[in-house]
Amino acid sequence: MSDDLVVVEGVVPARGFKTSVRDEVWSYALDQRAWGPRRLTVVFADRRGTFRGMANCERTDPFTIGLSACIAYLGRGAAAAVVLNDEEVRPGPADLDVLGSRFGLARSVCATAGIHLVDWIACDDENFRSTRMAIDPDGEWWDVPRHREVEGEAR
């Protein structure tokens, strides 16, 4: 397989299936290794948090390649996303500068597709860490704007 090729796998809900990413995100984080080690998973939702699909690929360097591939595969039409990344989560305080920089870049990648990135959750065998909660522990976690403008027109 070429280094230029990113293989993305995905899951979409069956007709009538309803679950909330807002309510189930920690279950997804705890179970993200079901895809295998060293994977980047993106969970897509509508504005209210209803699950729309999940895409994953091997982690890429830079991560923006894998994130963009997951968005291209299943993200079209989603209003929100949460990234689950299989990476080491060290105990103790997080490096907020590093987390904030990565989160800002990931948010901008998602924004180019009209998707609001709610969180980047780092996961390993034993721990997980919400970037959003580390950066703004008192803020509202599901911070998807109620309305968004796309090229001057309300969607």
| Predicted local confidence at residue 34, as pLDDT | 86
From residue 83, alpha-carbon distances to 14, 69, 150, 154 in Å are: 22, 13, 23, 26
Taking the CB of residue 50, how many other CB atoms lie within 10 A of it? 17
* Bigger pLDDT: 34 vs 13: 13
- Tell me the domain boundaries of the chain: 1-13+21-78+88-128
Q: At what angle do helices 96-111 and 63-70 cross, to 10 degrees?
A: 40
| Predicted local confidence at residue 33, as pLDDT | 85
Please classify residue 2 by burial: count the beta carbons closer than 10 Å to its beta carbon, then call 0-12 exposed, 13-18 middle and 19+ buried.
exposed
- Check pLDDT > 90 for residue 152: no
Where does 1-93 have alpha helices with state H?
Answer: 21-31, 63-70
Give strand ranges (E) for 4-145.
9-11, 39-45, 51-58, 80-86, 116-123, 128-130
| Closest by CA position to 27, among listed 41, 17, 13 | 41
Handedness of CA 23, 148, 105, 3 (dihedral sign): positive
Quick: pLDDT tens for 64-105: 999 999 999 999 999 999 999 999 999 888 899 999 999 999
Residue 90 parent element (H or E): none
> pTM value?
0.91
116 strand-pairing partners: 80
SS3 content of the chain, % helix, strand, coil (to 5): 30, 25, 40
| Predicted local confidence at residue 148, as pLDDT | 56
Taking the CB of residue 121, how many other CB atoms lie within 10 A of it? 24
| Predicted local confidence at residue 85, as pLDDT | 96
